Amino acid sequence: MGGVLLQLDIKRCIRAFKEDAGFEDIDQFLNLYHQQGFVGDLEAGKISGEQFIAECLRHSRPGTTPEVIINCFKEFLIGLNYDMLDFIRSLKGKYRLFLLSNNNILSSQVFSQMMADEGLAFGDTFEKCFFSFQMKMLKPSPEIYRATIEGIGTRPEEILFIDDSPANVDAARKQGIQTILYTDGMDIRSAFSGICASSALPESENC
């Protein structure tokens, strides 16, 4: 999701936490790919959204409200990747589509609404969503890929995984999954065609 379908700006998010909430050590917890400490616990489903906000408030200046914390967190999400959305539209009805994301209850709700506004509601677009906070595990652990393979119900070599994190892509590849390392502005259609032409991906069945 993040970095592929959704554009992220971690610097803007960190700046908002520091300036608006007085959370001066936020950059010890936020990372573009893999979150640390209680932020990682949120994505791993170890703490609730309410517990996350309470912990943020503990680090923030007196008088900071939960609404300020939520708004600071939303600064991480700067917009949708419309080229990727068009690519997803081109695959709908031709391939089985799934979403695997290190995510949390707060940002997943925001992203879900953003996708729905573009006519790509989760329930209509993806056969199933695999969210780290629900699965209680995080990429790049081998367990999350094994659970996803089982949840999809097909052979790993018949799955194509697209991610912007080299560590996540490498971990998926070690489980036998076909992969594309996404970089901003890449020609995803050519990369996809190349993978399909040279791999075990069945035509118009699995993606």
Q: What is the pLDDT of residues 157-179, one digit of tens each?
A: 999 999 999 999 999 999 999 99
pTM of the model: 0.86
Bridge partner list, 80: 6
CA distances from residue 153 to 78, 98, 171, 180 in whole angstroms, order as listed = 34, 12, 19, 21
Pairing of strands 178-181, 160-163: parallel
Taking CA 10 as the corner, what is the angle to CA 5 and CA 12, rounded to the nearest 5 degrees? 115
Rg (CA), the chain: 18
Q: Quote the CA–CA distance of 94 and 196 in Å, as a whole number.
A: 13
C-alpha triplet 22, 23, 28: angle, nearest 5°: 155
The pairing of strands 160-163 and 6-8 is unpaired
> Per residue of the chain (207 residues), what is the pLDDT tens digit?
989 999 989 999 999 999 999 999 999 998 777 788 999 999 999 999 999 999 999 999 999 999 999 999 989 988 999 999 999 999 999 999 999 999 999 889 889 999 999 999 999 999 999 999 999 999 999 999 999 999 999 999 999 999 999 999 999 999 999 999 999 989 999 999 999 887 655 554 444
At 2 the three-state DSSP class reads: strand
| pLDDT, tens digit, 9 for 90 and up, residues 50-64 | 999 999 999 999 999
